[in-house]
């Protein structure tokens, strides 16, 4: 976001970059994320996974 407004794409009028990327993030989390990360993404809340050694 620049200046508080989502940037628009030229491919599909009215579709923001965030709207286009949102599906990609969920797909990534389905493949590589843990269930807690995916749930947080869908609920719009932050999630930090613990680091293991």
**Per residue in 2-21, pLDDT tens?**
555 555 445 556 777 777 77
Reported pTM: 0.51
Would you list the DSSP string of 1-53? Answer: -BTTBPPBPSSSTT-BHHHHHHHHHHHHHHHHS-HHHHHHHHHT----PPP--
For 10-51, write each residue's pLDDT tens digit: 555 677 777 777 678 888 888 888 899 999 989 999 998 888
User: CA 47 to CA 41: how far, in whole Å?
Assistant: 8
């Amino acid at each position: 976001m620049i200046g508080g407004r989502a940037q628009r794409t030229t491919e599909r009028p009215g579709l923001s970059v965030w709207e286009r990327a949102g599906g990609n993030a969920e797909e990534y989390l389905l493949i590589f994320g843990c269930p807690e990360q995916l749930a947080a993404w869908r609920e719009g809340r932050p999630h930090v996974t613990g680091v293991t050694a």
